[in-house]
Structure 1
């Protein structure tokens, strides 16, 4: 892999919000392995199993350069105190309420975390200037765009979920604060991130859990295999390498704000992904695994395809994600079987 970027500076302080989360954990671990000082914050909410969040934190605790604080970014005073005490040089904001479908059921928490929380991050960066703010956006901002692959210059003013609206709002807010207060900031539009220790609310994780619970999985594609949903599945290691490559590469434009896609640039049919998951789980278990399947209509807020153009990211830092779903899902199923101590049933 040809990646042309400098290593993160171990003399700087890195604030990672959402450090107990999926991406936040792996990024913190990578920075700590390189001797960087990481201050991680998280509110440890119960959107999914908090045991998994505590497991991630337990793996970070042995690093001497790691400090964890239980802080909710929507609490402005508490967040400001973190900036005041630790004066971070680099901020990577990965704390957010995730999930497209959950935003339909519980919109309040999305406004609280993704809008008010992100505003508090921007205010803190304004009053305690940082070298670079990197924040999580989402491929969801592309809504029902038909043109693929999605490019950063595409029109994204028609989101189809509140979650997507909050992420688009983040991009607008960051652009404004960068313009007004010269905060170097980079937004990252993540495309379906997966891997070991991932989020249980994601389909691949939920499908695996349902198999071991002897439940059928619901596939929201109408059972239409010719017009199946397409997803750009991106393995966690590629995401972390992409973030790391950008940390030391802040924007230099007149308005110091930019947005990048981070996706695999190789979308797969949903059914192809499910069949691959079955094969990988079969390898991990040493016996053939076939999910019980139920086909249902596409859910409100879901989009027919996500497909990232990664040309802009590659042009700036020389990096393009390249982990295949076969490799990535095998690592996930191997981890799942070991972590949950599952055994084959006759």
Structure 2
């Protein structure tokens, strides 16, 4: 059996580098790593890497990493398969086989000796398919009326035992409906239908799941994950929807979307000072959910109707600025205006030597 090998630290470094060199889509070029986000805790990072591999259908994976707590990884990774953790020079090598086959691995786990009390059971790592919808989405999901339940004549997207249908006319989604699925799935599919109606079909398929996710996200609730939130790491409901939409998109051979939403008429009608005041108030309110103090970031100005220029305090590390920029943007879109985009203010080089 050929086992794929991934250097965790190199993958994390590539991710961090792309935060500076790409505006969007800074995941790995490997398709199943495109939505993976490294974690400061190597145990959590390696586990999420193994979960991503299992979700792609890989049966085995080898990961090398500089720092690791091997006991914590073995305990928390039991549900993923058989893990072998050993030294490789100054680094750790993790070899996972039978990914996702928790039953087989549990049968191979030896019982505690009779003359020694059994160790307290470690909390099982919850597989994505079993995890509930995060609390940050539940209030809006429960309150959402299923106005688009049913079918429309058109394209069908299968999402497990559910189905979403889209009626496309002239390259634009004119109607959408959903049928089947559990309550949380129905709420996600309803939000998706509401989000995509009126959009070009390429944009609907490229970003409809993200739009649905942010429609259900309560800005005042805790975020599902630190840093960049994606359908795959925010909730299994959205991960399943994103997988289904992605499969449909690839089968349709549609081009990438270059669509940019126009600001609403209500937003355009506000004066510059009114817009900036609303942005600043929302930014202060959003800081807690994004893990940054209100005094550490400021909305400096607006460029046009949608570009918000922000500036961070000098004591905020560059890595932290990268991590919170997109979550802050998502919060502003949810709280103020969906078309808003964050830009970091370019600072003038004050060195007289470099400005000769």
Per the TM superposition, whether the score is higher than 0.5 is: no
Using structure 2 for the length normalisation, give the TM-score: 0.23
Higher relative contact order (CA 8 A, sep 6+): 1
Using structure 1 for the length normalisation, give the TM-score: 0.24
